[in-house]
Amino acid sequence: MKRTMPAAIAAATALALVLAGCGGEDEPTDPNAPVTITLAGWSLSTTPEFKTLADGFHATHPNVTVELKEYDTTNYDTQMTADLAAGTAPDVYVMKNLKNFYTYQNGGQLLDVSSATSGLSGVSSVAAYQVDGKAYAVPYRQDSWVLFYNKDLFAKAKVNPPDGSWTWDDYATAAKALTTGLKVAGAKATGTYQHVFQSTVQGFALAQTPDADLLSGDFSYLKPYYQRSLDLQAAGAQPTFGTANTNKLTYQAQFGKQQSAMLLMGTWYIATLLKQRTTGDADTFEWGIAPAPQFDKSTTGTSATPVTFGDPTGLGINPKASKAKQDAAKQFLTYVASEDAGKALAGIGITPAQVTDAVTQTLFGLQGVPQDDLSRFAYAKHTIKPENPVSKHTAGLQNLLNETHSAILSDSTPLDKAITDAQARAKNEVLNQ
């Protein structure tokens, strides 16, 4: 899909990104000369994908070394924006999601990398990074949000586990039954855990509600999803938003240390859970993956295709890099888009942008990954809708909706008023800009 973007940069942060020219554009290059390129990453000690890609590429391109530069995962885009403005950004950097792609691309901070996308023909997420027929990033990951569940805790609470047919009402009923059953069994765990991310509510609401449109400024589609979350908090079936923030709860510990029987999270958590089981940061227990609960029965069951959400994660090239580094970086992105890179990522539990049979077999061949049919189904079959439709308004809307998320779940603003206020702010502060 072609997407044309306006020439003006709406967001104030984008103004900081408009830098003049590219470094070393006309210098001659020797394709065999040793070269080092830098790659942005985060949480390098617990997020192995960056080193996996760097090492896999170096094995076939020994003259190119990929050096990792670590950023803070929470403030990644803020730090990257500052580094791009200062001219200190790495040669290759990550688009964690689609929220800020418009800002980076329209600010002239991404090189045309269309030549590196040939290995991803038929992968729909490529279109998200295209402007006027040119690609400005290469997706290397395509996570989807699923339901992780602890089979042992379900058995202890004497509650039937997910079977692929759940709507949100089924999920809420199970969460409450699990909480009660686990208490009777003497286990200190809640039925579910909803992390503080706005995605845990808003991502599902946008993806699954018929005719929901973030860019319309009509956020009424959020109401039933927040009603459910507030009800689960009030019932004690999940920790409250305030508790999660005050106690700095992590979803990894809540599920991995068996403090909750269910967790809605992206498929990236597979890799983290596997790693933490080996280090002792997660317990060893029987677990599984089920499709995320659905809006209604029309998309439930293994004969249907469940609807979920998830932005691709892409890599782009800093146009301020020298010509030699740009050439090496394009080779790196071509490797990132290949099936070999996909299998390497699957080999550490990461879902690549292109999920083939070989990728699925690789991931489910890992020790500790559940082998049941429902887990395979949830991983491989779904309709994934973007959390962040690409637009100059997306970042502004998502920022104010993040404030709305906190206001609702902390009970500081009544639900209806919070949504009404968000709609007014969207109209006055974002959509009219």
φ/ψ of 300, rounded to 5, equals -100, 165
Same domain, yes or no: 161 and 252: yes
296 near 151, Cβ under 8 Å? no
Same domain, yes or no: 118 and 163: no
Domain count, the chain: 2
What pLDDT is recorded for position 26?
47
**Following CA atoms 366, 372, 374, 376 in sequence, which dihedral angle do they give, to the nearest 10 degrees?**
30
Q: Of the candidates 266, 302, 262, which has an alpha carbon nearest to the alpha carbon of residue 170?
A: 262
| Lookup: tokens for 401 | 């909706």
Same domain, yes or no: 41 and 186: no
CA distances from 42 to 87, 94, 118, 129, 405 (A): 20, 10, 27, 22, 25
Give the separation between CA 130 and CA 112, rounded to whole angstroms.
9
Give the separation between CA 357 and CA 346, rounded to whole angstroms.
11
Indicate which CATH number applies to the domain containing 111: 3.40.190.10
Same domain, yes or no: 138 and 232: no
**Following CA atoms 277, 279, 280, 286 in sequence, which dihedral angle do they give, to the nearest 10 degrees?**
10
Q: Which of 354, 380, 413 is the last residue of a domain?
A: 354
Q: Find the domain containing 337 and state its range.
A: 12-143+312-354
Same domain, yes or no: 153 and 219: yes
User: Is the Cα torsion angle 154, 158, 164, 167 positive or negative in sign?
Assistant: negative
Q: Would you say residue 423 lies in a domain? A: yes
Q: Would you say residue 360 lies in a domain? A: no
Same domain, yes or no: 173 and 106: no
Q: Would you say residue 119 lies in a domain? A: yes
Q: Would you say residue 369 lies in a domain? A: no
- Distance linking the first and last C-alpha atoms of the chain: 25
Indicate the burial class of 168 (C-beta count within 10 angstroms; 0-12, 13-18, 19 or more). middle
Same domain, yes or no: 73 and 191: no
Same domain, yes or no: 97 and 118: yes
Q: Would you say residue 375 lies in a domain? A: no
Q: Would you say residue 3 lies in a domain? A: no
Residue partners of 370: CB distance under 8 A and separation at least 6: 286, 287, 288, 289
What pLDDT is recorded for position 24?
43
Residue type, position 197, single letter: F
Same domain, yes or no: 109 and 61: yes
What are the pLDDT tens digits along the chain (433 aa)?
Answer: 444 444 333 443 443 444 434 444 445 557 778 999 999 999 898 788 999 999 999 999 999 999 999 999 889 999 999 999 999 999 999 999 999 999 999 999 999 999 999 878 778 889 999 999 999 999 999 999 999 999 999 999 999 999 999 999 999 999 999 999 999 999 999 999 999 999 999 999 999 999 999 999 999 999 999 999 999 999 999 999 999 999 999 999 999 999 999 999 999 999 899 989 999 999 999 999 999 999 999 999 999 999 999 999 999 999 999 999 999 999 999 999 998 999 999 999 999 998 888 899 999 999 999 999 999 999 999 999 999 999 999 999 999 999 999 999 999 999 999 999 999 999 999 999 8
Same domain, yes or no: 280 and 422: yes
What pLDDT is recorded for position 29?
59
Q: Would you say residue 417 lies in a domain? A: yes
Q: Would you say residue 359 lies in a domain? A: no
Same domain, yes or no: 149 and 102: no
Same domain, yes or no: 295 and 417: yes
Q: What does the pLDDT look like over 13-28, one tens digit per residue?
A: 443 444 434 444 445 5
